[in-house]
Amino acid sequence: MRIYATTAHHEHHSLELDEGQLIQSWESPTRADIVDAELAARGFADVRQPGDLDRALIEHVHASAYVDFLQTAHQRWVADGNAGPCAMSNGWPARRMRHIRPEGIVAQLGYYSFAADCSIAANTWGAVVDAARSADAAAQYVAGGAGSAFARCRPPGHHASRDQFGGYCYLNNAAIAAERLRESGAGRVAVLDVDYHHGNGTQDIFYHRGDVSFCSIHADPKVEFPYFLGHADEEGIAGGAGANLNLPLPHGTQSDEWFAALETSLQWIERRGAEAIVVSLGVDTFVDDPISQFRLVSQDFTRLGQRLASADRPMVFVMEGGYGAEALGTNMVNVLDGFLS
């Protein structure tokens, strides 16, 4: 399996508000390094640098003004006299407020974000672009006839909507990969999100479209981030009616329940007629993940890869969450090994 990755992520480490304290983000550079080391240890030697990223492709997924904002936010933050190391907002548009784009950088940080777990540092944009480049390159490779590829993306992307960042995500790597597959000739594409948290950004981007189906297996948003999207009754609108499937599960979910949901997902994707699948590959469903509440064990990720292989579709794997550092590499690569086996 070909891997696409860069080292630009080393320069991105943001701050987040966690349990009332401002801390270094759980989404750290160490995550990607652990996965890279495990890939090398298991003989995944075909690691490539991605090519340039087409701005037009990004704008098929994200609003142009939002992309401009991300690219210039930290520079504007510093120019405005802010002393903090990361650009963060202190206010967000709420119920019965008007969603009119404000002018100042602090206000725009609130306008373009939805959570205080995601800030913008000096080199965030470079890391964000390289993650998206990796996803795009993996999709191009699969569109060219390969059976699979892995985009080792950092930062992740599935919480990034058309015009908002949050949940450690800025550009939606999986959505960019899906859009590339569509533009390369796949009539229908599915995004399967197996991260512990709902892929609210991916749902938002494709909610009105029928050519890209979205399915997410995740913790019930009534008790888990992102809280305000991911319920079972969200099925798509307009041309996307019926093209969205959410399978929320309770805290404490173990492998039998989880794999039953996976079976439902893959059968639904089969009925949707997807010609290729993008997997938002989060492994924070692991029992010892520090910020998650499911109970999968390392062997379950091998089983996941094997079941995905039986779907018999070209597949782009895009790295999302997973924060149990000691096992992160093992679990991520177990999926790829299971798929190839």
- Does residue 197 have an active-site annotation? no
Residues with Cβ within 8 Å of 20's Cβ and at least 6 positions away in sequence, in order, are none
CA 54 to chain centre: 19
Nearest-angstrom CA–CA distance, 88 and 216:
29
Three-state DSSP at 2 gives strand
Per DSSP, the chain holds a count of helices (H) and strands (E) of 10, 10
Sequential DSSP letters for 253-291: --HHHHHHHHHHHHHHHHHHT-SEEEEEE--TTBTT-TT
Nearest-angstrom CA–CA distance, 245 and 233:
8
Q: How far is CA 24 from CA 3, 27, 110, 119, 292, in A?
A: 28, 8, 20, 10, 18
User: And the tokens for 144?
Assistant: 């060219």
* Annotated catalytic residue, options 159, 197, 198, 218: 159
237-255 core/surface letters (b: 16 or more CB in 10 A; e: else)? eeebeebbbbbbbeeebeb
Q: Which amino acid belongs to residue 88?
A: M
User: And the tokens for 238?
Assistant: 């307009």
Nearest-angstrom CA–CA distance, 322 and 65:
30
Q: Spell out the SS3 assignment of 204-229.
A: HHHCCCCCEEEEEEEECCCCCCCCCC
Residue corresponding to tokens 């802010």: 82
Three-state DSSP at 186 gives coil
Asked if residue 121 lies in contact with residue 8, where contact means CB atoms within 8 angstroms, the answer is no
- What are the residue numbers of the active site? 159
